[in-house]
Amino acid sequence: MTERDMLLDRVADILKEPVAIDPELDRRVLNGILAGPAPRAAPPAVLAWFTRRRTVSVSPLGGLALAAGIAGLALLGRPAWQLAERSTAPQAATVAASAELAPSVVQFVIVAPSAATVSLVGDFNDWNVAATPMRPAPGDGIWSVTVPLEPGRYRYAFLVDGQTWLADPSAPRAFDDDFGPPNSVVTVRGS
Amino acid sequence: MGIHDVTGESDGDFVRRVLDGDTAAYAGLVTRYRDRLGRYAMRMLGNQADAEEALQDAFVRGYRSLRRCTDPERFGAWLFGILVNRCRTLGGRRARRQRTVIHDEVALSRASVGDEGEEFALRETIQWAVAQLSAPNREAFLLKHVEELSYDEMTELTGVSVSALKMRVMRAREELQRLLSEAVRD
């Protein structure tokens, strides 16, 4: 071990020493928690919304857009990061609703041929991993799900096989996020 | 990062209790992680008031977003990610207001005699040197050499690539050695 290594080890040892934290901090945290809302519960079933389809225009990934008023938002493959690199450059993920303040049906699409399960998680389902499972199309590894969204800005991501958390490589990133790996953003506009 | 303590309750047990409506169960998670996360915040931000603000903010944000913790057994790692971001935000805000100065010349001059004084001076100098690092380099150094995380874990926490993190750690080590060598010569 060099003299430099010994010096830096000494630095690390000193920095590892415990620090004094105000014992009142625990109480302040609990007061802060009690002063605000509880972790939000999963939203109620939204099946009825699916009957109120609206015409939407979509970018990005026009090639993946489906006919029923859809935004295709992601490409993923095996391994995920390699296909992500091949995907198109991020574009504006904006959906325009034809009826003001009415939900738009937005389809999220991901190509994951090796995945056993894929879930869509986002602000619209309280990041509940069980709320919005995606369905695979037979044989081609394309997973999709449609979600009714009111006009607004939503952060979202895909959860592959219950453990791999992926942002959408084809959509803008949510840089204002605090929670680990970056997420993506879709904006649904009113007409 | 995930813990089972002597009570046998894992992070996941606590998280599930909280999500089932037992708000007080969150206190168990606060107690479990306050010291380790508090140390990181203190080393990163350089003063107790900011460290405790970041820590408190991280705990409250963690509670509000608990449903986004996709692996409750690794609640600690998830919360650590929130704290890293809070420290970045708070540190950036502070840097625009004023530069944090930990190096205390008066304290150093008072502590100039004897082994105890030398040890005190060494600690002060090390804290001063760490504070001189750029925030990204300081963050990478602390996560690697103080929190002893792997580069993969660091990438998961920070969203920064392994190669960039390695570069930051290397630069931090070089800068620390230069600063401390100069301090010793002075």
The whole model's pTM is what? 0.59
**pLDDT score at B94:** 66
Residues A185/A154, Cβ–Cβ less than 8 Å: yes
CA distance A188 to chain B (A): 22
A15/B145 touch (CB, cutoff 8 Å), yes or no: yes
Span A101-121, average pLDDT: 81
A127/B123 touch (CB, cutoff 8 Å), yes or no: no
More confident position, A165 or A42? A165
A4/B122 touch (CB, cutoff 8 Å), yes or no: no
The mean pLDDT value of chain B amounts to 83
Contacts of residue B159 in chain A, CB cutoff 8 Å? Answer: 180-182
Span B51-78, average pLDDT: 92
Give the span between the Cα atoms of B36 and A99, in whole angstroms. 51
Give the span between the Cα atoms of A11 and A138, in whole angstroms. 57
How does pLDDT run across A122-160, given as a tens digit for each residue?
888 877 778 899 998 877 788 888 888 887 888 888 888
Confidence class for position A180, pLDDT limits 50, 70, 90: low
If you search the block for the tokens 């605000």, which residue do you land on? Answer: A36
Quote the distance between the C-alpha of residue A42 and its chain's center.
15
Pick the range with the lowest mean pLDDT from A165-179, B69-83, B141-155: A165-179
B145/A8 touch (CB, cutoff 8 Å), yes or no: yes
How does pLDDT run across A63-75, given as a tens digit for each residue?
343 333 333 344 4
More confident position, A126 or B19? B19
B119 and A CB contact within 8 Å: no
Residue A13 CB contacts under 8 Å (≥ 6 apart), including other chains: none
Q: Does residue A79 register a pLDDT over 50?
A: no
**pLDDT score at B59:** 95
**pLDDT score at B123:** 85
Ramachandran angles phi, psi of A137, nearest 5°: -80, 145
Rg (CA), chain A: 21
Give the span between the Cα atoms of A85 and A83, in whole angstroms. 5
**pLDDT score at B43:** 94
Please state the ipTM of this predicted complex: 0.82
Residues for chain A: how many in total?
191
Q: Does residue B113 register a pLDDT over 50?
A: no
Q: Does residue B82 register a pLDDT over 50?
A: yes
Q: Which among B173, B147, B172 has a CA at the least distance from the CA of B39?
A: B147
B76 and A CB contact within 8 Å: no
- Contact pairs from chain A to chain B, CB under 8 Å: 127
Q: Which among B168, B146, B170 has a CA at the least distance from the CA of B155?
A: B168
If you search the block for the tokens 């089972």, which residue do you land on? Answer: B4
Helix then strand count (H, E) for chain A reads 3, 10
Span B16-39, average pLDDT: 92
